[in-house]
Amino acid sequence: MRKCPALMIFLASSLLLVLQTLEVVNAVGCAGSFFNANSSYVQNRDSLFSTLADKVIANSGFYNASLGKSPNRVHVLVLCARGYDQQACMNCVESATKGIQSNCLNRMDSFTWDKDVEDHVSCLVRSSNHSTLGNLELRPAIIYPSPLSIESSKNMTLFEQEWDAMVNRTVETATEAQNSSVVLKYYGAERAEFTEFPNVYMLMQCTPDITSQDCKSCLRECVALWKTQFWGRQGGEVNRPSCFFRWDPYAFHGAFDNVTRVPAPPRPPIPENGSPITTVKKGRSIGYRGIIVIIAVLTFINLLVFIGFIKLYARRRRSNYRTHLGSAEYSDSDGQFMLRFDLGMISMATDDFSTENKLGQGGFGTVHKGTLPNGQEIAVKRLTKGSGQGDTEFKNEVSLLTRLQHRNLVKLLGFCSEADEEILVYELVPNSSLDHFIFDEDKRSLLTWDVRFRIIEGIARGLLYLHEDSQLKIIHRDLKASNILLDAEMNPKVADFGTARLFDTDETRAETRRIAGTRGYMAPEYLNHGQISAKSDVYSFGVMLLEMISGERNNSFEGEGLAAYAWKRWVEGKPEVIIDPLLVEDPINEIIKLIQIGLLCVQENAAKRPTMSLVIVWFGSETITIPLPNAPAFTGSHFQSENDSMSVSNIFTELSSR
Ligand SMILES: *[C@@H]1O[C@H](CO)[C@@H](O)[C@H](O)[C@H]1NC(C)=O
Ligand SMILES: *[C@@H]1O[C@H](CO)[C@@H](O)[C@H](O)[C@H]1NC(C)=O
Ligand SMILES: *[C@@H]1O[C@H](CO)[C@@H](O)[C@H](O)[C@H]1NC(C)=O
Ligand SMILES: *[C@@H]1O[C@H](CO)[C@@H](O)[C@H](O)[C@H]1NC(C)=O
Ligand SMILES: *[C@@H]1O[C@H](CO)[C@@H](O)[C@H](O)[C@H]1NC(C)=O
Ligand SMILES: *[C@@H]1O[C@H](CO)[C@@H](O)[C@H](O)[C@H]1NC(C)=O
Ligand SMILES: *[C@@H]1O[C@H](CO)[C@@H](O)[C@H](O)[C@H]1NC(C)=O
């Protein structure tokens, strides 16, 4: 590769840009690739976790261990802060392991700096599929700022000088050479009096496996991040896998019992009407740990430099750049975190939402194709304005949705919420949607029975995950062939699963006034009474299943609908009539079994429809007796065009206002 300084600047600033666009929202840092939640990796991790509390005590406060065979080998590292109380340390470690088990659902890598409930001690639990012992691990960083700002009456210039000096002293204490018998080598706790604050408390720790120089760099990075992100807030913390930094105007983690207060420097003359010093009571900031925190930075200069160079080099150098981002520097943030995307970057990626890049339009907004500077292709969904959702709610919601990870769901990479734009960023699934295949005269022939069955089963698994296995229990509400995307290997991925939830947080309510679905796929109780449940999705699934068998759109059966048509042929004893002529060579009995399952899914009585887990059992079993279906719902005498979800909701409004 030809070296060129401008290119190097471009690469460096681009990398920075991408890294800074990163936003970590979990209280627990999760990273790395996903693994099958049932794999032995989890078992190994859980079994290591179950012994950590005892082991860390037995090993003077720091312990590392590994278990299992590659690729399911798990490495863990755990420590309690110097001077820990045994019981508090054990409680802390238990709380931390639980946090990881519930927050990092199925991530390979994780870490959390936790504390025990009574706030006596802090501890770290970290796990990974590779040994991180001895390595300086900086990413991801997690910030917890106090929601309170320092009063504007304080002299911030003075405060900054005193704070910087305190940082320097604490870094020195934390990294000073220790007697080699000291296990918890890196620890600094300081309490100081500032001119305008009676007490400021600061704690710094590193894992003892790294060098003192690495510890220093790690702590400096925490401080630098704090200063660029939340300078002006009255306390907070920055966590990294290798180190911990916290400061507050009150004592915390029982860390300051034996610490003498560093007196304030001599006071400069204070004006007569200087504001009284407020004391912050302990406990005032309780709960800010739980606040979902945003680290999102995009320095303007960075952007300018970046844009400047991208114009010059982007085309010629894209492949070099991609290689660069693919390197280890980027791997720990390889799109696995919750990403907050900058609006500028989205505009650039989609060529300012140009019409050439438009992929489609649905009830909730338009979808555009885009390419990130690192070469990754994305699908950008620009939500229709006026969802009435607050910014914070939107972010919280998206952060929940990004945790849903399943082979048969389109992956939500992140979001952008800026100006009055609300944007969701998804992975781009290359093969467009199922309707482009199954309803296309030519392409349909590519869908052999094996392929169709795999698609149907994949959709069922994706739905099962949404309904039962994910922690959120999501009802899709707009399941149809055009919402099933196909990847390069024709694996189905359910799309748009979060949108309904985004707009209706009161998901558990049995009824909703807002009908957002596509007529013909909508269960009668949903269409007529707005009742949603997993069973209304099962109905839509049944319609889709029959479409896959017949190769015809539900609405091509004029005046009747596919479900009713298939039911009549079933009653006549001629179910095979609906089978796509292209499938005549295929196992007829298996196809008829699927027609039967499809008809069970579209039964009028929602209670009689099977659950998705039962459907999957039926798919896989040769021997189980499948019940006979009852009459399906006749959802109306005419069907609208498929992409008509908005007009359906209008129709419903009309119906319901009568
Ligand atoms: C997980 O594995 C166990 C035993 O290997 C099996 O019984 C269980 O059904 C599996 N669960 C899932 C969800 O695959
Ligand atoms: C980490 O674990 C290995 C194997 O259990 C052990 O030999 C090593 O001493 C441990 N290292 C530290 C720093 O505790
Ligand atoms: C404080 O001092 C007491 C008595 O010397 C000791 O037991 C305790 O561990 C110390 N606490 C800390 C946090 O160092
Ligand atoms: C850890 O997982 C990542 C992602 O799956 C993989 O690339 C890496 O090789 C794994 N490391 C080990 C040591 O198995
Ligand atoms: C703030 O403190 C600095 C440093 O002591 C001093 O130079 C400056 O005049 C002070 N500003 C105010 C508004 O008091
Ligand atoms: C703190 O340390 C840094 C780097 O070692 C130094 O540049 C800075 O001047 C120091 N600040 C204070 C207030 O001592
Ligand atoms: C290190 O600590 C041990 C035990 O506390 C003590 O016996 C030893 O003398 C100390 N060594 C030094 C060099 O201070």
| Domain at 238, CATH number | 3.30.430.20
Kindly state whether residues 412 and 472 are assigned to the same domain. Answer: no
Task: With H, G, I as helix, E, B as strand and everything else as coil, classify residue 361.
Answer: strand
Residue 311 lies in a domain: no
Chain center to CA of 129: 20
The residues facing 243 across adjacent strands are 206
Burial class from Cβ neighbours inside 10 Å (0-12, 13-18, 19+) for residue 161 reads: middle
Which ligand is in closest contact with the Cα of 216?
A: 6
Chain center to CA of 125: 21
Kindly state whether residues 361 and 480 are assigned to the same domain. Answer: no
- Tens of pLDDT, residues 83-122: 999 999 999 999 899 888 876 767 788 898 988 877 788 9
Average pLDDT for 471-485: 86
Which ligand is in closest contact with the Cα of 76?
A: 2
Identify the domain boundary among 427, 454, 475.
Answer: 427
The reply to whether 381 sits in an annotated binding site is: yes
Neighbours of 653 (CB within 10 A): 12
Q: Which of 116, 209, 214, 478 is catalytic?
A: 478
Task: With H, G, I as helix, E, B as strand and everything else as coil, classify residue 144.
Answer: strand
Kindly state whether residues 478 and 618 are assigned to the same domain. Answer: yes
Kindly state whether residues 226 and 373 are assigned to the same domain. Answer: no
- Tens of pLDDT, residues 343-358: 877 888 898 898 888 8
Listed as own residue / partner, the contacts of 95-102 with beta carbons closer than 8 Å and 24 or more positions apart are 96/123, 96/124, 96/125, 97/49, 97/52, 97/125, 99/27, 99/28, 100/28, 100/30, 100/49, 100/125, 100/127, 101/46, 101/49
Identify the domain boundary among 369, 403, 427.
Answer: 427
Residue 169 lies in a domain: yes
Which ligand is in closest contact with the Cα of 328?
A: 4
Between CA 427 and CA 86 the distance in angstroms is 46
Nearest CA to ligand 5 atom 11: 155
For residue 156, give the ligand 5 atom closest to its CA: 1
Kindly state whether residues 73 and 173 are assigned to the same domain. Answer: no
Kindly state whether residues 612 and 570 are assigned to the same domain. Answer: yes
What type of residue sits at position 345?
M
Q: What is the pTM of this model?
A: 0.49
Please report, for the domain that includes residue 361, its CATH number.
Answer: 3.30.200.20
Kindly state whether residues 441 and 555 are assigned to the same domain. Answer: yes
Task: With H, G, I as helix, E, B as strand and everything else as coil, classify residue 352.
Answer: coil
Pocket lining: 328 vs ligand 4, CB cutoff 6 Å: no
C-alpha to C-alpha distances, 35 to 109, 314, 347, 465, nearest whole angstrom? 10, 34, 33, 15
Please report, for the domain that includes residue 507, its CATH number.
Answer: 1.10.510.10
Task: With H, G, I as helix, E, B as strand and everything else as coil, classify residue 584.
Answer: coil
Alpha helices in 21-67 (DSSP H): 40-58
Kindly state whether residues 442 and 561 are assigned to the same domain. Answer: yes
Nearest CA to ligand 7 atom 12: 179
Residue 177 lies in a domain: yes
**Interval between CA 152 and ligand 3 midpoint (Å):** 37
More confident residue, 599 or 337: 599
C-alpha to C-alpha distances, 565 to 297, 581, 626, nearest whole angstrom? 57, 16, 21
Kindly state whether residues 557 and 581 are assigned to the same domain. Answer: yes
**In which domain, by residue range, is 128 found?**
29-133
Kindly state whether residues 515 and 651 are assigned to the same domain. Answer: yes
Confidence of residue 126 (pLDDT cuts 50, 70, 90): very high
Decide if 231 contacts 281 (C-beta within 8 A). no
Whether residue 400 has pLDDT greater than 50:
yes
More confident residue, 317 or 87: 87
Nearest CA to ligand 2 atom 9: 64
Pocket lining: 260 vs ligand 3, CB cutoff 6 Å: no
Identify the domain boundary among 72, 106, 133.
Answer: 133
Is 478 catalytic? The answer is yes
**Interval between CA 485 and ligand 7 midpoint (Å):** 66
Residue 10 lies in a domain: yes
Number of domains forming the structure of the chain:
4
String of DSSP letters for 491-557: -EEE--TTHHHHH-S-TTSSB-S---S-TTTS-HHHHHH-B--HHHHHHHHHHHHHHHHH-S-GGGS
Between CA 292 and CA 294 the distance in angstroms is 7
Residue 289 lies in a domain: no
Between CA 140 and CA 334 the distance in angstroms is 11
Pocket lining: 33 vs ligand 4, CB cutoff 6 Å: yes
Whether residue 4 has pLDDT greater than 60:
no
Structure token pair of residue 512: 């909703």
Task: With H, G, I as helix, E, B as strand and everything else as coil, classify residue 424.
Answer: strand
Between CA 460 and CA 58 the distance in angstroms is 48
Residue 458 lies in a domain: yes
- Tens of pLDDT, residues 508-549: 333 444 455 566 788 888 877 778 889 999 999 999 999 999
Confidence of residue 449 (pLDDT cuts 50, 70, 90): very high
Burial class from Cβ neighbours inside 10 Å (0-12, 13-18, 19+) for residue 158 reads: middle
For residue 161, give the ligand 6 atom closest to its CA: 13
Residue 267 lies in a domain: no
Residue 224 lies in a domain: yes
Kindly state whether residues 514 and 534 are assigned to the same domain. Answer: yes
Whether residue 464 has pLDDT greater than 90:
yes
Kindly state whether residues 231 and 166 are assigned to the same domain. Answer: yes
